[in-house]
Every structure is written in C-alpha cells, then in structure tokens.
Amino acid sequence: MDKVIVYKNGTTLKDTFQKVRLSQKRPYTLQFVIDTQSLQLTLRAETKALLYYFCDNLSQKDRVIIRNIVSTCAGVDVCLCTNEAFALDAWKLNVFHFEEHPVDGRQILSAYKKHTSDHSQNAQAFTLKTNEGIIKLDHGRVNYLSANGNYTFFNLVGGKQLLMTRQLNKYDDSTEDNLNMKRLHRSYIFNMKNIQNIKGKEIRFYKTESPLAVSNALAIKIRKELLGSK
C-alpha cells in the first residue's frame, strides 16, 4: 500500500487532497501532519513514502528539515510545494519533485504518478483481447487512445489503428504507472513521448504521417504539459 504524507505547518490540507483520487487501482493511505514534531515521528516509522511538503515561503527552518529528510530517510520521496521563486533551491536540496503554488489536482497527481512510476515493477503494456487472441501492446507503440462512444481506438506509430470494444476510462489503470501516458481530455490519452511537435491545432507524432487535429484549447493544454508549465 502506498503511504502518502501531507505536511503544512499549522494547516491541514485534508479538504484539498480528498477532492483528488490519486489512484484507480493502487491502494494508498493519506496522513495529514501540521507540526514538525509529528512529521519526524511519522517519518521515523516509514521506510517508503511520498511526502508533500507545503510551505508558503521556504524558510531556513524548512531547508534544514528537508535536508535532514533527504539525507536520512532514503525511502521517502519529497515533493516540495512552495513559491516558484524557490525552484532552484528545491534542486539544490535534491528533492524528488517540485511544484509551484498554487498547487492543483493535476500537479498533485503528477507527483504521485512520478513516485509510483519510479517504484513500480509493472510492465508498461496493454493487454488486449482481439480476434487474433490476447496480445501485449507496448505503450511505446501507441501515439494516443481516442474514445468513440463505448469503443476505444488505439492509434499506433505508423498510422495503424486498433478498435477495442471498451470505453476509454477502462484503460486508465493500464497507463497509471507510465509518466508519458497522460489523460488530458475526456476523449484522449496521449503518449507524450511520441509527440514530435504541435503546429496550430495539429499534433504530429514521430514515425507517423497523419497528424491529429484537435481543438485550440486542447492544443494549448498539450503545449503546456510538454513545457511543464501551468
């Protein structure tokens, strides 16, 4: 079971995190801590965990606490959530992940997915039932999945398509441990690694001739995701 610890001095972030479902398939627990003494006691009992460390400004006290956690708690991944002005400081502190304020549900999920991906032993492949039998389809061969009612198209490198008689949301758990596979729209799951470029409202993929035309809003969202910006 995944252990997730959420810390902010003097403030519980329970309401924020309970609005976000971290995983569809992995069991996890959330623990909310609001003082440094409780944080130390909590971490002492954990050999592996994801710690969201929230602070409005990265004080000297915060730096000392984080540095001690990174150096003494080898199995704890620290996600530092603070003002964007401290991004370089986060790198110097050698934290596992950094997110700038204000942190939304997408950013919370991004850190969790990175944590589980680093520790997952699951093969990054789809198991599909076809007329030719059960096949394993590596994520790397898929440019994107697209929804069509109760069906899902697997759009592959090179332009080939596979049609599956399952809704798109049924494949969410198959992509959960792969950082490159992102659900950025109710009708699409994209393999971000296979995107070559975006021109206007067209998404072009490596080793694939035909581009995908999307809405302007989705094109902007994909650009931001590729750039790692909000």
Residues 132 and 197 in one domain: yes
Residues 35 and 132 in one domain: no
**Mean pLDDT lowest for which of 64-68, 110-114, 143-147, 164-168?**
110-114
**pLDDT for residue 14:** 93
Residues 9 and 85 in one domain: yes
Domain C-terminal end among 84, 119, 154: 119
Confidence of residue 229 (pLDDT cuts 50, 70, 90): low
pTM more than 0.85: no
pLDDT digits (tens, 9 = 90+) for 110-135: 899 888 876 665 558 898 988 878 88
Closest CA to 31 of 48, 12, 44: 12
Residues 142 and 198 in one domain: yes
pLDDT digits (tens, 9 = 90+) for 5-54: 999 999 999 999 989 989 877 889 999 999 999 999 999 888 899 999 99
Q: pLDDT exceeding 90 applies to what percent of the chain?
A: 71
Give the helix ranges, DSSP H, for 60-169: 60-72, 87-92, 105-119
Residues 103 and 180 in one domain: no
Whether 175 shows a pLDDT value over 90: the answer reads no
**pLDDT for residue 122:** 56
CA-to-CA dists, residue 197 to 190, 200, 207, 211, angstroms = 13, 10, 12, 10
**pLDDT for residue 173:** 82
Count the domains in the chain: 2
State the Cα–Cα distance between residues 37 and 147, nearest whole angstrom. 49
**Mean pLDDT lowest for which of 26-30, 53-57, 77-81?**
26-30
Give the mean pLDDT of 66-83.
94
Tokens standing for residue 58: 């990265």
State the Cα–Cα distance between residues 66 and 94, nearest whole angstrom. 9
CA-to-CA dists, residue 91 to 96, 98, 228, angstroms = 9, 8, 16
**pLDDT for residue 53:** 98
Residues 172 and 114 in one domain: no
Q: Which domain holds residue 16?
A: 2-119
State the Cα–Cα distance between residues 54 and 138, nearest whole angstrom. 37
